């Protein structure tokens, strides 16, 4: 589905990218940390991009899309006090799955064909799905959260970009800001938070 991105790119002037990413988005919404663990769980995903500009001065522009999945899971034990003492309700197994889709631009600068400082801006859409399980009963639902992500970092290409195919490694950090996902009568969960990602992949 991303093939059209490759068609947009000039043939040799820039690098298309196919990157596996690992990192995290530290969801800071208290509801998420209460129900689905402490937050900061690993996020894994794929990024694909097509170079649309490689200026002779070294500036490059890549249009791309990304998908990443972050899963948080845990156990919640409700409790309450009675005259007889503390009463524990049975554990609830919980799971929060956030699939994040992005579409945006990467701007970089070529330093000797090996090192590329970069900034990235993306429109994002987070699909937040939750699940609470206890005994054979289960509750589940989902919501969407549109937003944006802004990161900065660098890429290292080994060997350098002079070869037709190289391997690139990226390290980026920034922030994702999303509207809270509305989860019906449960309330909302805001998947926003600081982002750190590292990636590796092919540069064509």
Distance from C-alpha of 179 to C-alpha of 29, rounded to nearest angstrom: 12
Piece in contact with other proteins (CB under 8 A), picked from 47-55, 86-94, 101-109, 152-160:
86-94
Spatial distance between the Cα atoms of 121 and 174, rounded to a whole number of angstroms: 10
Binding part of the chain for other proteins, among 26-34, 117-125, 154-162, 163-171 by CB under 8 A, reads 26-34
**192 is a site residue for other proteins (CB under 8 A):** no
Q: From CA 120, how far away is CA 106, in angstroms rounded?
A: 4
Among 119, 142, 177, 183, binds other proteins (CB under 8 A): 183
**For other proteins, which is the closer residue by CB, 91 or 160?**
91
Residue 171 found at the interface with other proteins (CB under 8 A)? no
Neighbours of 84 (CB within 10 A): 6
Tokens of 159: 């060997």
Backbone angles phi, psi at 159, to 5 degrees: -70, -175
- Distance in angstroms (rounded) separating the CA atoms of residues 170 and 105: 15
Q: What is the C-alpha separation between 151 and 129, in angstroms, rounded?
A: 25
* Only segment of 6-14, 29-37, 108-116, 152-160 that touches other proteins (CB under 8 A): 29-37
Between 32 and 71, how does the x/- string for binding to other proteins read (CB under 8 A)?
--xxxxx-xxxxx------------------------xxx
Which residue ranges make up the site for other proteins (CB under 8 A)?
Answer: 22, 30-31, 34-38, 40-44, 69-80, 82, 87, 89-92, 132, 134-135, 137, 139, 183-189
């Amino acid at each position: 589905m991303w093939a059209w991105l490759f068609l947009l790119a000039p043939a040799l002037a820039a690098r298309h990218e196919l990157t596996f990413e690992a990192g995290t988005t530290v969801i800071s919404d208290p509801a998420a940390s209460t129900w689905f663990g402490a937050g900061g769980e690993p996020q894994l995903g794929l990024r694909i991009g097509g170079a649309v500009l490689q200026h002779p001065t070294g500036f490059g522009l890549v249009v791309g899309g990304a998908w990443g999945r972050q899963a948080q899971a845990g156990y919640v034990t409700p409790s309450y006090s009675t005259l007889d003492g503390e009463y524990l309700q049975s554990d609830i197994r919980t799971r929060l799955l956030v699939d994040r889709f992005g579409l945006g631009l990467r701007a970089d600068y070529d330093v000797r064909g090996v090192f590329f400082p970069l900034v990235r801006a993306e429109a994002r859409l987070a699909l937040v799905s939750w699940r609470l399980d206890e005994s054979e009963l289960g509750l589940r639902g989902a919501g969407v959260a549109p937003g944006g992500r802004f990161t900065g970092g660098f890429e290292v290409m080994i060997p350098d970009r002079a070869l037709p195919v190289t391997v690139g490694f990226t390290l980026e950090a920034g922030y994702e800001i999303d509207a809270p996902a509305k989860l019906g009568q449960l309330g909302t969960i805001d998947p926003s938070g600081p982002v750190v990602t590292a990636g590796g992949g092919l540069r064509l």
